Amino acid sequence: MEPEVTTKYIDWIIDQLQHKDQTWQQQRLDDLTRLVQNQQSELCLFLLTADALQSQYAQQHCRHGETLTQLVQDSFVHNNKMDRLHRQQQLNKQKLQHLESQLHHWRTDAAERRNKKAMREKQYHQVYFVPVINAQYKKKYMRARDKNSAVEQHVSDLHRVMDGVKARVRQEQQQWAAGLHQRQVLEDQQHTVKAALERLDQLMKDLADTRNFWFQFKAHHVERYLALCQGGIDVEQWPRSATMDYEQHYQNGRQWRTWKEITFECTHCHATIEGWPHLDTSAQLTCLPCMKPVDPLLSPIPCITSHRHNPRPRLPSIPSILSSTLPYVKKLKSALNTKIDFLANNSLLVSRHFYRSILT
């Protein structure tokens, strides 16, 4: 039967005592002790991981809060800009209405001036060949022509001003449409960040509750039960209440306080991962691809230390030594050849060929 912290396992050990010796009983208790120790190690690792997750989530919460504050400020500035644009639109529309009323008045006046100019022109043509009278009608015609020109110029100026106002109104309408879109974008971003903050708050609350549960379980059940296993108590005198409490709390925790997948950011590759994180040697959240197992045969320093081991420098190979010393050998050989030539010129010394044979 596989070891487990249950009353069923303890009863099974007691039932087997009549067929087994004391050594077998001690082995079963040692198996139970190792099981509790493994669960204690798993809980310690979970608590460290939960603390690292809480720290990372707290940083994310701070960043989301800063982003939300910035979005609120941007929305405030944008709404003020939209209010100014709305007021400017109202002013331009009022100005356009006033110009349209003036244009209607001056168009009526221009029509009257054109009719009067046409009448004076006709009268002037009728008396064109009549002396004295034609000079009077010429003045009347020229005065009517000038007044008509002035009115036409004023109407043209009004058209030009109205065209400018209409262009500004069209531009403001486009800016208003773009501003409405930007306002909607800012509101959507605020809703997104608020929803992310709410999810993060709930996640941090659930994680804190889970951590607190397993911390209490480790302090009040695992450590006490481990001390009980190591206390040398006979299995027939085993306290069933401690086993029942351990079993009940552990099963409740496995059912309601278990995490299989969670969203976290790897501190090495900064990728967002869906799953349960690992911890590196500095207790930082790490994804599985970034975990680099350390071979104990290659590194004399354990993985838990934060110091780096300086590896022994590799010795150069024989070919590399020969290639690096080749220039110096050539220089030495050249110097020896010069010395041999000097000695060969001296008849008291041995021949040059003898020295060359020595070198070769």
Residue scoring higher pLDDT (102 or 316)? 102
Residue scoring higher pLDDT (217 or 83)? 83
Extents of the domains making up the chain: 7-259, 260-306, 329-359
CA angle 124, 128, 129 (to 5 degrees): 160
Alpha-carbon distance of 69 to 193, in angstroms, equals 10
User: What integer pLDDT is reported at residue 331 of this predicted model?
Assistant: 54
**CATH, domain range 7-259:** 1.10.287.2610
Mean pLDDT over 242-265 rounds to: 78
Mean pLDDT over 32-51 rounds to: 86
What token pair was written down for 220? 């009040």
Could you tell me which of 156, 190, 176 has the C-alpha nearest to residue 81?
176
User: What integer pLDDT is reported at residue 234 of this predicted model?
Assistant: 62
Q: Which of 44-53, 67-76, 326-335 has the lowest mean pLDDT?
A: 326-335
Residues 6+ apart with CB under 8 A from 17: 25, 235, 236
pLDDT at 347 over 60: no
Q: Which of 9-18, 87-96, 257-266, 296-305 has the lowest mean pLDDT?
A: 296-305
Q: How many CA atoms lie within 13 A of 145 on its CB side?
A: 10
The per-residue pLDDT of the chain, averaged, comes to 78
Mean pLDDT over 251-268 rounds to: 78
User: Mean pLDDT: which of 237-246, 274-283, 297-306, 330-339 is highest?
Assistant: 274-283
Q: Which of 42-51, 193-202, 266-275, 334-343 has the lowest mean pLDDT?
A: 334-343
User: What integer pLDDT is reported at residue 80 of this predicted model?
Assistant: 95
Q: Between the CA of residue 351 and those of 333, 338, 343, 344, 354, what are the distances in Å?
A: 18, 14, 8, 6, 5
Q: Which of 122-126, 270-274, 339-343 has the lowest mean pLDDT?
A: 339-343
Could you tell me which of 181, 170, 194 has the C-alpha nearest to residue 78?
181
Rounded to a whole number of angstroms, the distance between the first and last alpha carbons of the chain is 83
User: What integer pLDDT is reported at residue 321 of this predicted model?
Assistant: 41
Could you tell me which of 189, 186, 180 has the C-alpha nearest to residue 82?
180
Q: Between the CA of residue 67 and those of 64, 180, 233, 336, what are the distances in Å?
A: 5, 21, 60, 79
Which residue spans within the chain are E strands per DSSP?
262-265, 272-275, 278-279, 285-286
User: What integer pLDDT is reported at residue 181 of this predicted model?
Assistant: 94
Alpha-carbon distance of 19 to 154, in angstroms, equals 123
Alpha-carbon distance of 297 to 89, in angstroms, equals 79
Q: Which of 131-145, 186-200, 227-241, 300-314 has the lowest mean pLDDT?
A: 300-314
What pLDDT digit, counting tens, does each position of 234-253 carry? 666 666 777 788 888 888 88
User: What integer pLDDT is reported at residue 330 of this predicted model?
Assistant: 54
Share of the chain above pLDDT 70, in %: 75
Share of the chain above pLDDT 90, in %: 23
Residues 6+ apart with CB under 8 A from 223: 40
What pLDDT digit, counting tens, does each position of 116-156 carry? 889 988 888 888 888 888 888 889 889 989 998 999 999 89
Residue scoring higher pLDDT (228 or 145)? 145
Q: Predicted confidence band at 183 (pLDDT cuts at 50, 70, 90)?
A: very high
Mean pLDDT over 307-312 rounds to: 38
Tell me how many helices (H) and strands (E) the chain has: 7, 4
What token pair was written down for 73? 């400020």
Alpha-carbon distance of 142 to 117, in angstroms, equals 8
